Chains A and B, each alone.
Chain A
Amino acid sequence: MSALPTPAAPGRRARRLRDLRRTGAAGENPKAGESPNAGENPKAGESPATAASRVPATGRARRLRENLVAYLFLSAALICFALFAWYPIVRGVLLGFQQVTFAQPAEWVGLDNFRRLFADPLFATAWRNTGYFTLLALVFGFAAPFVTAVVLNELRRGQSYLRLTVYLPVMLPPIVTMLLWRWFYDPGPGLFNNVLGVLHLPAQQWLESEHLAMISLVLVSTWANMGTTTLIYLAALGGIPGELYEAAELDGASIRRRLWHVTIPQVRFILLITLLLQVIGTMQVFVEPFVLTGGGPDDATVTILLLLYRYAFVYNDFGLASAMSTLLFVVLGLFAGLYLRLTRTKD
Chain B
Amino acid sequence: MAATEPRSRTLIAPAELTRPVGRFLHRFVLGATLTGFTLAFVFPLYWMTTGALKSSAELAEPHPTLLPSSWHPESYTEAWTNTGLAGYFLNTVLLAFGALLFQLVIDVCAAYALSKLRPVLGNAVLAMMLATLMLPVSALLVPVYLTVVDVPLVHVNLINTPFAIWLPAAANAFNVFILKRFFDQIPTELLDAARIDGAGTVRILVSVILPLSRPVLAVVSIFAVVGVWKDFLWPMLVLPDETKQPITVALNRLAEFMPANQLLAGMVMASVPLLVLFLLFQRHIISGLTAGSLKG
Distance to closest chain A CB from B279 (angstroms)? 8
Residue pair B294, A236 in contact (C-beta under 8 Å): yes
Please, how many angstroms separate the alpha-carbon atoms of A1 and B12 in the complex? 62
Q: Which one of A25, A47, A172, A270 has the greatest number of beta carbons of chain B within 10 Å?
A: A172
Q: Which one of B11, B44, B62 has the greatest number of beta carbons of chain A within 10 Å?
A: B11
Q: Does A48 contact B (CB under 8 A)?
A: yes
Across the interface, name the chain B residue whose C-beta is closest to A246: B9
- Assuming the contacts A5-B106, A77-B109, A291-B252, asked whether A14 and B147 have C-beta atoms less than 8 A apart, the reply is no
Residue pair A154, B10 in contact (C-beta under 8 Å): yes
Which residues from chain A contact B21 at a C-beta distance below 8 Å?
none
Question: Which of A135-143, A205-213, A280-288 has 4 or more CB atoms under 8 Å from chain B?
Answer: A280-288
Which residues from chain B contact A215 at a C-beta distance below 8 Å?
none
Which residues from chain A contact B94 at a C-beta distance below 8 Å?
none
Q: Does A83 contact B (CB under 8 A)?
A: yes
Q: Does B64 contact A (CB under 8 A)?
A: yes
Which residues from chain A contact B237 at a C-beta distance below 8 Å?
313
Residues 73 to 89 of chain A near chain B (Cβ within 8 Å): 73-74, 76-78, 80-81, 83-89
Residue pair A325, B196 in contact (C-beta under 8 Å): no
Contacting residue for A158 out of B30, B105, B278, CB 8 A: B30
Please, how many angstroms separate the alpha-carbon atoms of A66 and B191 in the complex? 15
Residue pair A175, B251 in contact (C-beta under 8 Å): yes
Distance to closest chain B CB from A272 (angstroms)? 12
Q: Does A35 contact B (CB under 8 A)?
A: no
Q: Provide the A246-281 mask, 1 if CB < 8 A to any CB of B, else 0.
A: 100100000100110011000000100110010010
Q: Does A235 contact B (CB under 8 A)?
A: yes
Please, how many angstroms separate the alpha-carbon atoms of A103 and B185 in the complex? 53
Please, how many angstroms separate the alpha-carbon atoms of A89 and B10 in the complex? 46
Please, how many angstroms separate the alpha-carbon atoms of A228 and B288 in the complex? 11
Residue pair A322, B109 in contact (C-beta under 8 Å): no
Which residues from chain B contact A33 at a C-beta distance below 8 Å?
none
Interface size on B, residues (CB 8 A): 114
Residue pair B226, A69 in contact (C-beta under 8 Å): no
Residue pair B34, A92 in contact (C-beta under 8 Å): no
Distance to closest chain A CB from B27 (angstroms)? 10
Q: Provide the A277-315 mask, 1 if CB < 8 A to any CB of B, else 0.
A: 100100110110011000000000000110011001100
- Assuming the contacts A21-B200, A180-B48, asked whether A7 and B275 have C-beta atoms less than 8 A apart, the reply is no
Residue pair B132, A85 in contact (C-beta under 8 Å): yes
Q: Does B208 contact A (CB under 8 A)?
A: no
Please, how many angstroms separate the alpha-carbon atoms of A317 and B114 in the complex? 40
Identify 12 new A-B residue pairs, CB closer than 8 A, beyond the known A166-B37, A189-B64.
A25-B198, A25-B199, A44-B198, A73-B110, A83-B167, A91-B146, A154-B29, A176-B48, A176-B248, A180-B48, A231-B290, A340-B134
5 A-B pairs with CB atoms under 8 Å apart are A48-B195, A156-B30, A164-B279, A171-B278, A179-B263
State the B residues within 8 Å of A (CB): 1, 3, 7-13, 16-17, 26, 29-30, 33-34, 37-38, 40-42, 44-45, 47-48, 51, 59-64, 101-102, 105-107, 109-110, 112-114, 117-120, 122, 125, 128-129, 132, 134-147, 151-154, 156, 163, 167-168, 170-171, 173, 176, 192, 195-196, 198-203, 226, 229-230, 232-233, 237, 248-249, 251-252, 255, 263, 267, 270-271, 274-275, 277-279, 282, 285-286, 289-290, 293-295
